[in-house]
């Protein structure tokens, strides 16, 4: 039955009795600045002992000139072709309220709606209770600041509970945006987490941004992850970037300007959160009425 419904899906085995699973997705490519999203997902899989149970056949979804297959030597003699693929892993987390399913791969080149349909159908077959997409974008932010994580969710209370900065982005999107919309349209609860990474070090994998995504993901799905090794990598990353920046006065001046802009933005946000004059006047009038009533 499953094979007839989802031809591109290649089962290695079919996981059963997953507890309220959350499907977490990340894709290499346009949605993955500084490899932050894919690093976060692969870290979660390694830390929690993910086990691969299926792949999605790449034939109808990838341009093999853009995402090339790899040649691999087996036993030093036989050559084997490793095709790009989307891999699915299950994670059993007995002490958490739910189990996890991870979906990892490169952003597909073709047939995004059909690709999204396969994932939505898979999520429904597995009884998925929530679909989470991870992404990372380039931004005018300094590396010295905490990584900002913006979020979208079908349940607005999630955005508030996780203290996410709401995204107001409009413009081109990638497979993460299409998948988020497809799941939402199918009635699956969804959330999308995006880390903002400094654009001036975009070519270097950013463990600090990956760590920020992992921490937000923990709160979202209710699964604790030992991220001590990723914390160490993030600290070393920031140390190395600081050394590189300090070695070039022009770059250092540029980073200082970004820091000043970040401080100004934070100050504006704080001022913007102050109550309006009308609200203050209304509260003052209410206080005076209550006081006068008490005196009489």
Per-residue pLDDT of the chain (296 residues; tens, 9 = 90+): 444 445 899 999 999 999 999 999 999 999 999 999 999 999 999 999 999 999 999 999 999 998 999 998 887 777 899 898 899 999 999 989 999 999 999 999 999 999 999 999 999 999 999 999 999 999 999 999 999 998 888 877 777 777 766 677 788 889 999 998 999 899 999 999 999 999 998 888 999 999 999 999 999 999 999 999 999 999 999 999 999 999 988 888 999 999 988 887 665 555 555 555 565 566 666 656 666 655 44
**Separation CA 292–CA 296 (nearest Å):** 6
- pLDDT computed for residue 269 by the predictor: 56
- pLDDT computed for residue 261 by the predictor: 87
- pLDDT computed for residue 262 by the predictor: 84
Question: Which tokens is 8 given?
Answer: 């591109």
Angle at 82 between CA 81 and CA 85, to 5 degrees: 145
- pLDDT computed for residue 186 by the predictor: 94
85, 58 contact by CB (below 8 A): yes
- pLDDT computed for residue 156 by the predictor: 77
**Separation CA 91–CA 64 (nearest Å):** 30
Decide if 242 is inside a domain.
Answer: no
- pLDDT computed for residue 155 by the predictor: 78
Decide if 240 is inside a domain.
Answer: no
Decide if 287 is inside a domain.
Answer: no
Instruction: At 10, give phi and psi (nearest 5°).
Output: -115, 105
Query: Residue 201's domain is classified under what CATH number?
Result: 3.40.50.10900
Decide if 261 is inside a domain.
Answer: no
Question: Which tokens is 137 given?
Answer: 């974008």
pTM: 0.83
* Residue closest to 221 by CA, chosen among 189, 266, 173, 182: 189
How many domains are there within the chain?
A: 1
- pLDDT computed for residue 202 by the predictor: 87
Per-residue H/E/C for the chain: CHHHHCCCEEECCCCCCCCCCEEEEEEECCCEHHHHHHHHHHHHHHHHCCEEEEEECCCCCCCCCCCCCEEEEECCCEEEEECCCEEEEEECCCCCCCCEEEEEEECCCCCHHHHHHHHHHHHHHCCCCEEEEEEEEEECCCCCCCCCEEEEECCHHHHHHCCCEECCCCCCCCHHHHHHHHHHHCCCCEEEEEEEEEHHHCCCCCHHHHHHHHHHHHHHHCCCCCCHHHHHHHHHHHHHHHHHHHCCHHHHHHHHHHHHHHHHHHHHHHHHCCCCHHHHHHHHHHHHHHHHHHHC
Question: Which tokens is 71 given?
Answer: 């040649």
Instruction: At 249, give phi and psi (nearest 5°).
Output: -60, -35
- pLDDT computed for residue 267 by the predictor: 56
- Tell me which residue range forms the domain holding 141: 2-225
Decide if 72 is inside a domain.
Answer: yes
**Separation CA 296–CA 294 (nearest Å):** 6
Decide if 28 is inside a domain.
Answer: yes
Decide if 282 is inside a domain.
Answer: no
- pLDDT computed for residue 161 by the predictor: 76
Question: Which tokens is 241 given?
Answer: 């970037």
Decide if 144 is inside a domain.
Answer: yes
**Separation CA 188–CA 180 (nearest Å):** 9
């Amino acid at each position: 039955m499953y094979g007839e419904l989802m031809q591109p899906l290649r089962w290695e085995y079919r996981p059963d009795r997953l507890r309220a699973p959350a499907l977490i997705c990340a894709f290499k490519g346009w949605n993955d600045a500084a490899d932050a999203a894919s690093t976060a997902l692969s870290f979660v899989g390694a830390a929690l002992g993910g086990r691969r149970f299926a792949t999605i056949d790449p034939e109808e979804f990838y341009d093999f000139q853009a995402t090339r297959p790899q040649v691999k030597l087996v036993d030093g003699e036989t050559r084997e072709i490793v095709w790009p693929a989307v891999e699915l892993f299950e994670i059993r987390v007995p002490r958490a309220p739910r189990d996890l399913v991870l979906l990892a791969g490169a952003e597909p080149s073709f047939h995004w709606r059909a690709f999204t349909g396969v994932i939505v159908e898979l999520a429904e077959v597995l009884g998925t209770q929530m679909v989470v997409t991870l992404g990372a974008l380039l931004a005018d932010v300094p590396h010295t600041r905490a990584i900002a994580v913006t979020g979208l969710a079908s349940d607005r209370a999630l955005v508030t509970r996780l203290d996410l900065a709401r995204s107001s982005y409009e413009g081109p999107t990638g497979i993460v945006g299409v998948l988020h919309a497809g799941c939402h349209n199918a009635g699956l609860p969804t959330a999308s987490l995006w880390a903002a990474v400094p654009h001036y070090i975009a070519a270097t994998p950013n463990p600090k941004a990956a760590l920020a995504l992992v921490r937000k993901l923990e709160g979202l799905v209710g699964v604790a992850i030992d991220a001590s090794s990723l914390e160490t990598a993030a600290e070393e990353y920031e140390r190395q970037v600081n050394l590189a920046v300090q070695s070039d006065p022009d770059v250092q001046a540029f980073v200082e300007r970004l820091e000043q802009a970040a401080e100004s933005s934070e100050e504006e946000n704080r001022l913007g959160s102050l109550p309006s004059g009308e609200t203050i006047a209304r509260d003052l009038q209410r206080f005076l009425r209550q006081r006068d009533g008490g005196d009489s």
